[in-house]
Structure formats: structure tokens, C-alpha cells
Amino acid sequence: ELGKPQRNCYTLPGFDFSYGLYIHGTDGGVPAAIGHWNTGKSGNGLVQKMPRDYITMNCDAVKAGYTTAHEFNLYYKAKDIRCNVNYRRFKRCSPKIPADMTFGITTRPSTPFFDLLQHKYKELWMEQQRARTAAERMGKKKKDGVSETRTTLLRKHPLPAKEESFWHLPRLEKVGPHLSTFPDGDAPKKAFSA
């Protein structure tokens, strides 16, 4: 158009045009939605290819007489052995949940308005403060008395007497006598028993 600015917009379609995407076969509109539920089929998602079982393939290759890396690669291509289904240490299956279990966070208990109106929390706090001040006073009274020293404690509770034991060299513990001055074999037993 001569003498007019250029339009930077598009012309819209008519009133009979419907926007959106129509899927043939699955979209039945409101009657289809009310009539039945199209639920997704549960699957394992992407089916992963099991990893190769190199331990078994290496053992079989050695038994067959292959020793070089090139021979091993050829053997891997010829006999492709995969791991068992239970190769994972931890299975990804969902845990067994009881049927009557409810999910979510439990509701908070209701606020005790009766305790708030009676100022019960203030009274509890005051009792705690009184108990703490009483405990501090008792501690101060105990500190004001005569403090006990090690000497006074030892006078009240003396240490047990130490049993005196003679020390012997360990290498001389099991040495027998070299000289016996007893007249016969029973004489040492009689002497030690007395």
C-alpha cells in the first residue's frame, strides 16, 4: 500500500477455525472421556540391553585356546554372552506397601485454646524459673561451706593397704634347686607344710 506503514502482523483465520491439535482415533471428546478412562500401560520404561558377561566369555575363550587380544575380540563377536537378569545388586522394584497405608504428612494437633486462656504456659515457665533459682541457691550454700581437700577425704576414706610382694626376676622363676640337703624325698613336703 502506497503511503502507509508496512503491517507487521498476520491475518487471523475465520471464526470457524479451531485452534489446537486434533488426534484421530484417541480423541473422542467429552463423551469418550465420560465413557471410559484411557490409562497408560505400565512398563519398565526403556528396555536396557544387558551388559556383557566378560568373566564367562574370558573363561570360555581361554578354554578354547585363544590367547591374544585379537582372538579374544573375535570370540566376543562370535559368542556374545550377556549377564543374567539379576545382575544388579539392588533391584529397582517398588517396595511392598500395605494396602491401608496413607501417604502424606500427618495433620498438626490442634492448639489447646483452653490452656492459652488460662495462661498455663506462663505458669509452667514460672515454675521452671523458681526451680532453677532454688537449685542455684543450694549450689551457693554448698560452696559457702568448708571445701574438702585430699587430706580430709583420705581421713574419711583411707586407701586400702598395699600388699607387699617381693619382686623376682622372670628368668629365675622356674629354676629348680641344684642342691638338696633333706635326708629323703618326703622331708621337703613335711618342712614346707609346717
In a domain, 83, yes or no: yes
Kindly report the pTM of this predicted structure. Answer: 0.24
- Total domains present in the chain: 1
Residues 6+ apart with CB under 8 A from 163: none
In a domain, 26, yes or no: no
Nearest to 22 by CA among 32, 14, 12: 32
Which tens digits make up the pLDDT trace of 64-85?
A: 999 899 998 899 889 888 887 6
Q: State the pLDDT at residue 80.
A: 87
In a domain, 155, yes or no: no
Q: What is the mean pLDDT of each run of 10 residues along the chain (194 residues)?
A: 76 83 67 68 60 89 91 89 67 74 83 85 94 90 75 88 78 77 84 83
Q: State the pLDDT at residue 39.
A: 61
In a domain, 68, yes or no: yes
Domain containing 71 equals 49-89
Buried b (16+ CB within 10 A) or exposed e, 79-91: eeeeeeeeeeeee
Q: State the pLDDT at residue 27.
A: 61
In a domain, 65, yes or no: yes
In a domain, 67, yes or no: yes
Q: State the pLDDT at residue 24.
A: 65
